[in-house]
Amino acid sequence: MASKIILLPGDGIGPEITAPTLELLDAVGTKFDYEEHLFGGASIDAHGIAMTDETLAACQAADAVLLACVGGPKWDTTDADKPRPEQGLFRMRKGLGLYANLRPVRPFPALYDASPLKREIIEGTDVLIVRELTGGLYFGAKTRTKDTASDLCEYSREEIERIARVAFRAARRKVTSVDKANVLETSRLWREVVAELHAAEFSQVPLENVLVDNAAMQLVSNPADFDVIVTENLFGDILSDEAATLTGSIGMLPSASIGEPGKPGVFEPVHGSAPDIAGQGVANPLAMFLSAAMMLRHGLNLEAEAAAIESAVNRALAEGLRTRDLGGSADTRAATQAVLSNL
């Protein structure tokens, strides 16, 4: 039976990078059953909320969810009573139990010179950032008055242990746990729990603790030293976007959000909806292609098909494919054809 994939094109360039991704998936030789739903700003316009009960239920019943991007100036607001596209992301993460966000940062050799960092700094970089996705400031209780506001940052031992396990199991050389234990009580608990889990279950994997400000500096000065970085929600959000510098463009970074084994994950590019270029047919689809590869690997257990897509992207870049964000002139269609021809 064909795997059921829920498609959430979302906003801005989302539909423009979703369509060619389906071409690529259909070309790998495996049959998929697609079902498309409105999400983010598009859902707000149609239904008044960023994610409907029907869409959430469809995602929960699927084998995997492929999401493009959400948001845009049209829906930007500081009014707490008005819907925002990002609320759909938070609801989906909670509703599917997606507590682990995986963001691989592996610059393609063909793009070493596209990075603002020197080739010798990024060469050999192969980092996996494991971000806790359903706790911390983003999900804590919030208050707001005319003159004050607060966001509660809260973590439990269970939340820290389960995300740390993901990191230790993924490690090849070492795990770097990033926190702010010199200031924050949540970080002190984080460091304590990670250390206890390490001693009890993963003592064969080297563990180091790095403060988040130092980690931010090391990520752009010595990125090849990292293997797996594990950190809490806010720090992970910031560090993984900073890591986009290594690849030359945020348009190259895929991600996977996963929960318990057997449950559907969500796979999406790291970049935003780019409303400034929406509708022009010039968006870089490569991060979406690579997110689809992560879906095949982590969501559907199709390793050969995932590797085929990644290899096709790599070869297309080696042959000179460059979209606008990479300093070239290839539009979405040209980028798609270049990858398909190498599949």
> Per this entry, what is the length of the chain?
343
3-state secondary structure of 8: strand
Residue 84 and residue 133: Cα distance in Å, rounded?
A: 18
Catalytic one among 126, 225, 241, 331? 241
3-state secondary structure of 228: strand
Catalytic one among 63, 99, 112, 138? 138
Where does residue 248 fall: left (phi above 0), alpha (psi -120 to 50 degrees), or beta otherwise? left
Residue 213 is among the residues annotated as catalytic for this protein? yes
Residue 269 and residue 20: Cα distance in Å, rounded?
A: 14
Strands 265-269 and 254-258: antiparallel
Angle formed at CA 39 by CA 297 and CA 132, multiple of 5 degrees: 50
DSSP, res 275? T
Catalytic one among 26, 213, 263, 276? 213
Residues contacting 270, CB < 8 A, separation 6+: 103, 240, 241, 244, 250, 253, 254, 255, 287
DSSP, res 61? H
Catalytic one among 99, 179, 180, 325? 180
Residue 138 is among the residues annotated as catalytic for this protein? yes
Q: Where in the sequence numbering do the catalytic residues fall?
A: 138, 180, 213, 237, 241
